[in-house]
Structure 1
């Protein structure tokens, strides 16, 4: 006679059913997340604002990495005899007060300004996401503590705080500016990350993973963050342009980047004298226009990404 199967032990069928349910829920969750990103990319490719801003940002990144592609001169090579000369053949943007080529300095200025914006945004996104995720996931005492710390930093005016901290630091360059912006700029992203994590951790697949004994780190990184990261990405894209403008503001006030560093903020600060602007407006208009276009491009990119990732706007 054929062997007779032993009955499954008590509770094994329930555990198998729970595992199957969790696997199915996790698969559906993965497909939903994949569908969200694929649908967002589908919409972005057909959004002219996204395409235009992305191409412009790509061009700015390329010239910040390899400015010699479109500028053959040195940004620190100056001829004082040509001070404040207007545009001429071979010098499309004219010369500044020191006789430096404005076009070359405008091209090379993208490197420092964009580097500060990108590095500060990465620092803000990492710190804000870490604090907000921990506060939203654990709740209770940790949520209260981290939320109050966030409120303290939120109450510090960014420009005023950056002026105070940078005035106390003797080291110059892009890294002190990046550090100050990262330390003061993370609370907004922390609040967004906290709210997203609180919403995501209430989903069924998270509860199923918790019932099966998944560790907190696995639940947070594997199941929660993929659904909670979209608002953080949108906010980071928008604030990147804001941080570039903030670097220019701090450099204009004399506490950010300083010569011989070449940046748009440094050149705007050097051209801020009213008499010089009246006699040679080109020394201010070109770096200011480059700064405005860059900030606008990142804000437009962030708006397009927000519209694509927010299901309520579909």
Structure 2
């Protein structure tokens, strides 16, 4: 008699596939490039002194918007500050916004999606109704209105607004995945053996349903970084004396500065674009590695 597709042996084999997929990630040159970019940006954020010994606040107005010269590879910004040091120190804020937003949204979506998908009923109705309300709000306009109410905006202000409108979409992915897993035979068998619902949820359902949420969370890091830049350009984001790539892009776009010194726009936009693209490639690679149906 053929072995049941939901036997313990098959379940272990199913869990083993993602491991083999993760090991194969390094065979992809695109994943390697994306990983290198993310590691370099993370090192910039954590240890900026490894990349520059120039204080980004050491400025000389007489050098405003001057181009590259020895010791100053990216030239000077509008205030005559070394632009490379601005790029390096700006990595921390930009990455913080993306990572904090993704991490907090992940936790909310994990908890809410698991509860809604597994227990159903009133719990599912309340959580799903709340997420539908969030998804029905024009995110761009609502974000601008909320941010405009704050006289001074910090990283956590930006993160709060982004999380407020981003958790609902990722929650729906988790809810859908949990609903697919909760009715599998080995879950029903665990119920028949008297295993409690919370233990089933934590030990069996969530580990087998969390893959789509991990992928979406990885993709959302870059989206959060791009959103921070967009808020700064629109005048409702972070302001000086903070450092971020979004602030640099916003300053370069004011009063035609980028036309006089195009590098002021090019360098932060390049760093932001490369980092965002790296997280997209990372997310797509993880999806292919963790989802057996996506691989041949």
Q: What's the CA shift for 1:155? A: 1.4
So what's the TM-score if we normalise by structure 1?
0.89
Q: What is aligned with 1:17?
A: none
Distance 1:189 1:279 in 2: 42
1:60-117 superposed Cα distances (whole Å, 9 cap, x missing partner): 1011100110111111211111111111111111111111111110111100000110
Q: What's the CA shift for 1:279? A: 1.4
Max Rg structure:
1
Q: What's the CA shift for 1:50? A: 1.2
> Counterparts of 1:1-314 in structure 2 under 5 Å?
25-26=7-8, 28-33=10-15, 35-273=16-254, 275-314=256-295
Q: What is aligned with 2:3?
A: none
Distance 1:288 1:262 in 2: 14
Q: What's the CA shift for 1:271? A: 0.8
The secondary structure found in structure 2 opposite 1:261 is coil
Distance 1:157 1:309 in 2: 33
RMSD over aligned CA atoms reads 1.5
| 1:177/1:256 contact within 8 Å kept | yes
Q: What's the CA shift for 1:309? A: 1.6
Query: After the TM superposition, which parts of structure 1 deviate over 3 Å for at least 4 consecutive aligned residues?
Result: 24-28
The secondary structure found in structure 2 opposite 1:257 is coil
Unaligned 5+ segments in structure 2 are 1-5
Unaligned 5+ segments in structure 1 are 1-23
Distance 2:14 2:291 in 1: 14
| 1:108/1:262 contact within 8 Å kept | yes
Distance 1:210 1:243 in 2: 40
So what's the TM-score if we normalise by structure 2?
0.94
Distance 2:67 2:35 in 1: 32
Q: What's the CA shift for 1:216? A: 1.5
The secondary structure found in structure 1 opposite 2:240 is coil
